[in-house]
Structure 1
Amino acid sequence: MGGRRRRKGLNENKENMKKRSKSIEPSSISTIDLHSSRFNIQNLNFDNYYQEQRIVTSQHWDSFLNVLRTPLPSSFRINSNSQFSEDIRSQLENDFLHSLRFETVEEDNVDPVIPLPWYPENLAWQSKFSRMQLRKNQTLTRFHEFLKLQSEIGNITRQEAVSMVPPLLLDVHSNHFVLDMCAAPGSKTFQLLEIIHKSNEAGSLPDGMVIANDLDIQRCNLLIHQAKRLCTSNLIVTNHEAQNFPGCFLNRNYDAMEPDQNIDQLLFDRVLCDVPCSGDGTLRKAPELWRKWNTGTGNGLHNLQVLIAIQGLSLLKVGGRMVYSTCSMNPIENEAVVAEELKCGLVL
Structure 2
Amino acid sequence: MKTKYLLSALAVAAMLASPAWAKNLTLPVVSKGYQHEFFQTVKMGTEAAAKELGVTTSFVGPADETQIAEQIQLLENTMAKKPDGILLAALDANALAPLVESANSRGIKVVTFDSGVNSDIPASFVATNNVKAGAQAADALAAAIGNKGKVGVIAHVAGTSSAIERSEGFTKQMKEKYPDITVLPVQYSDGDPQKAMDKTTDMVQANPDLAGIYATNEGATLGVANAVDSLGIKGKVKVIGFDSTEAIIGFLRAGVLQGFVVQDAYQIGYQGIKALDDAINGKTVEKVIDIPVKYVSMDNIDDPAVDKLLHPFGKKK
For the criterion TM > 0.5, the same-fold answer is no
TM-score bracket relative to the smaller structure? 0.3 to 0.5
TM-score by length of 1: 0.31
TM-score by length of 2: 0.34
